[in-house]
Amino acid sequence: MEIFRPLTRILPSVRPPDREVGFTEKLIWTALALVIYLIMAETPIYGVPHTGGVNDPFGPLRVIFASQRGTLVELGIGPIVTAGLILQVLSGSKMINVDFSNPGDRALFTGASKVLSVFMTIFEGLAFLLGGAYNVTNSAGQPIPPSLQNEFFILVQLVFAGIVIILLDEMLQKKWGFGSGISLFIAAGVCLQIVWSSLGPISPVSDGKYLGGIIAFFQSLGPVIASPFSFTSWQAALYRGGNLPDMLGFITTIAVFLIVIYLNGLRVEVPVSYARYRGFRGRFPIKFFYVSNIPVIFAAALFGNIFFIGQLIFNRYNPTCSTTGINFWLSLVPGCYQQQTQTGQLIPIKGLAYYTFAPRSLGVVLGDPIRAGVYMLIFVLACVFFAVTWVEVGGMDSKTVSKQLIDSGMQIEGFRRSGSTIRQILDRYIPAVTVIGGITIGVIAASADFLGAFGTGTGILLTVGIIQQYYEILVKERITEIYPGTKGLLG
């Protein structure tokens, strides 16, 4: 960790406010960060031809990484999430020693995450260029890479935009605004994707209808009205196939929203009281989604990087999917890809990448149920692993929580005020809730993808949690501004 310390002094940073930032000012800074992000998301990268680069290394994973193809936010929050993932895994496996109870170690860990995010931005930018993401196709169908000068300008733009996103996230996390940049950008991207998939006015697409699932549904009502009891008519109206947004995906989106909102409200409440003031009682809540959406973010980042790096290796070393010599192992890990004729998008057809890439329609799931089952199993196991890891490294385990309760002068009603006693009681709930919550959130995200939910299952899960988080933050900030005396009580 110490190797990052000199580099943290070189990178630009946002200084924390030396005064109390008011509610309105925080709202302005948060809105400004969002506006800057949206402007960057609409600004094309100089040097990339508008008609070139049909191959998209991230494809449907972009909604999770809050990125837009061919724009300054090409990489989105991917480098930040990947850097955090690497450091969390290293910390959880004790390969690096970090004492999160030590403010100095926490500050160094945050700085190291920032430095690694910049390195990941450079790495992913180079990988995009080397992987042929910006190649154009000539009349003979051969890929032509950009000139060396253009490649340099493209890389500079990607790195500059990546640093801006890192600083915007840092600005919000240092209390200039609300929440974090990662959460804000993800929610904005998912909401835009849901609106576009529902009401997109582009026409005609491959089935001759409008892109938007709701509009296409109304376009398909003619046969339903003529034969209201015909299964074929209803099937054609509700399900379009070809990875196009349809009414089934819209219904799934609404259902997932409602299910996640309900599950977010489930919790186990442990009765606590103040040791010095016996009359003051309260409840310590242990939410069903104890670690919130962290497992989904890290699992999606892991699968996204397998998909991304797999394309890079495939394009450079095994473009024919040969199975001779070392290519046999490359065809298994990461796997082989095939270009879709309609979109030009490379999709995995074999190997590890194939089983870690979500089948995003009911037709694809029914066409290869084994793949769907393996994907769900791997995704759920990844969510459980990251949930358990985050509890340990994030100071949310029973031992740390019991110490926090003792230090704050609390005890569990009916039991003596002892750290070991409180820990034993919390051990009844926290490990079980962590694992069950990780399994549930993984199953919901994967199932939503299988049914073609707009914005992807992971994106919806993240957005629901983010919206609720922002609602709680805004309510708390507003109350503490009106009644300053409640600040210490609300935290």
Return the bridge partners of 269, or none. 285
Strands 136-137 and 143-144: antiparallel
Low-confidence ranges of the chain (pLDDT < 70): 50-61, 137-143, 275-280, 341-344, 485-491
Q: How high is the pLDDT of residue 253?
A: 96
Helix (H) or strand (E) holding 346: strand 346-350
Both structure tokens of 4: 């990052």
Q: How high is the pLDDT of residue 342?
A: 59
Nearest C-alpha neighbor of 434 from the set 276, 327, 290, 337: 290
Rounded mean pLDDT of the chain?
Answer: 86
Nearest C-alpha neighbor of 178 from the set 23, 39, 40: 23
Residue 205 in contact with residue 244, Cβ under 8 Å? yes
Q: How high is the pLDDT of residue 157?
A: 96
Q: How high is the pLDDT of residue 59?
A: 65
Distance CA 111, CA 14 (A): 12
Q: How high is the pLDDT of residue 465?
A: 86
Q: How high is the pLDDT of residue 53?
A: 43
Name the residue type at position 437. G
Domains 1-13+20-194 and 242-491 share a fold: yes
Could you please state the CATH topology (level 3) that the domain comprising 1-13+20-194 is classified under.
Answer: Preprotein translocase SecY subunit (1.10.3370)
Return the bridge partners of 411, or none. 273
Determine whether 487 is exposed, middle or buried from the number of CB atoms within 10 Å of its CB (0-12, 13-18, 19+). Answer: middle
Name residue, tokens 């026409």. 203
Helix (H) or strand (E) holding 301: helix 294-317
Distance CA 57, CA 48 (A): 15
CATH class for the domain made up of 242-491: mainly alpha
Total-model pTM: 0.81
Domain ranges, ordered by start, for the chain: 1-13+20-194, 242-491
Both structure tokens of 35: 């506006």
Distance CA 223, CA 209 (A): 15
Tally the residues of the chain: 491
